[in-house]
Amino acid sequence: MKKVLFVTNIPSPYRVDFYNQLGKFVDLTVIFEATGAQDIRFDYRETFKNFTAIFLSEGNIDEKKLNSAIFQYLIPEKYDYIFLTNYSYRTELFGYLKCIFSKIPFVLEIDGGKIPESENFLKYQFKKFILTKPYYYFSPSQSSDDFLAYYHVNKENIYRYSFTSLSEKDIRHQIVDEEEKQFLRKKLGFSPTKKTILFVGRIIPGKGVDVLIKAVQNLSDNVQCLIVGASPDSEYKQYLLDLIGQDSRFHFIDFLQTSELKQYYKLSDIFVLPTKSDVWGLVVNEAMSQGLPVISTSACVAAIELVSNGYNGYVIDRVDDWKAIFQKLSQVLQDDSLRVQLSQNALSTIKHYTIETMVEEHLKFMEEK
């Protein structure tokens, strides 16, 4: 059985699910930089089943702190494969640099990436230096491949993987019927008959919630907009509340656990993520798994990879373009047959984006290399 090491930041549930699945086939050790992060809450320890977990520190992750404990675990003789997943946090960056200067073979696995619109010369040269040093790369999308190639990575060393937070059992086989949607809306305290727009994510300026609000404000009264997520930026949250005013069509819901969140996907008609920057955006996968058409922006790598205009949703070329979002929302919400077709196509698109597929892709790589 091959011995494999992963180094990552925190035990996010979807990562733990992947490690548990992969650990059925390899002798897996996972180094977590910390046990959690600010504004993120989850229970995890009892879910570690098929791998050995090592925590470098307890509590929330500190991106700027160097924890030298990582050095003692990067031992090439102990593992057949070492996967690094991050170079933006200081601890993981120094572990990354140790692998480079100690000539330890490793694989870089990224969640996504986009070529920056602008970047100073020194930063570009540093990223070029570190990104050309892994032996192989796991990338989830063409735009992520292009990001790596921008820093002179050889595309022949890039392997595609189906980045997701979903298991096969999490993906619906058919769309949710209107009767079930109305039942769930009523159960959770919303209007059962109004067309329902859903946003899921942190309530911060970069997610573009204000853009969504402006778009929805121009729709008919027969809609409601559910905004789900933690609000770490109190000033921005107040700005949104002031923007909404007395408009009762908007509902804020705090952070939800996965099982609770699935109910919100099921009761909704369409999902909107007007983000200004997302290196992936797993909520797009999650929305599509419940048969929701997706409207997002070209700043979201998941949308670029998964959403095809007019097939399973729409990608808006410009961030902050509330008028374009308004137009697509109007089109989809007023046309039941279009919405059903988009929903069915969303399920068709996402059905192979599973943790089981991710495991198969990693095992195939290990067989070949």
> Does residue 126 contact residue 96 with C-beta atoms inside 8 Å?
no
pLDDT reported for residue 119: 94
> What distance in Å separates the CA atoms of residue 32 and residue 150, rounded to the nearest whole number?
29
pLDDT reported for residue 278: 95
A 10 A CB-CB count for 263 gives 15
pLDDT reported for residue 108: 98
The tokens for 58 are 């307890």
C-alpha angle 213/340/247, rounded to 5°? Answer: 20
The CATH fold of domain 168-350:
Rossmann fold (3.40.50)
> Does residue 225 contact residue 213 with C-beta atoms inside 8 Å?
yes
Cβ-in-10-Å burial (0-12, 13-18, 19+) of 305 comes to buried
What is the residue type of 271?
Answer: F
Q: Which residue is associated with the tokens 């955006």?
A: 281
> What distance in Å separates the CA atoms of residue 369 and residue 365, rounded to the nearest whole number?
6
Q: Determine the distance from the C-alpha atom of residue 109 to the mean position of all C-alpha atoms in its chain, rounded to a whole number.
A: 14
> What distance in Å separates the CA atoms of residue 265 and residue 272, rounded to the nearest whole number?
11
Q: Where in the chain is the domain with CATH 3.40.50.2000?
A: 3-164+354-368, 168-350
> What distance in Å separates the CA atoms of residue 249 and residue 194, rounded to the nearest whole number?
9
pLDDT reported for residue 173: 96
pLDDT reported for residue 61: 87
pLDDT reported for residue 44: 62
Chunk the chain into consecutive blocks of 10 residues (it has 369) and report each block's average pLDDT, rounded to whole numbers: 96 94 98 82 72 92 91 95 95 96 97 93 97 98 97 97 97 97 98 98 97 98 97 95 97 92 98 97 98 98 98 97 98 98 99 98 95
pLDDT reported for residue 226: 99
Nearest to 166 by CA among 17, 349, 332: 17
The CATH fold of domain 3-164+354-368:
Rossmann fold (3.40.50)
Q: At what angle do helices 336-350 and 322-334 cross, to 10 degrees?
A: 100
> Does residue 7 contact residue 342 with C-beta atoms inside 8 Å?
no
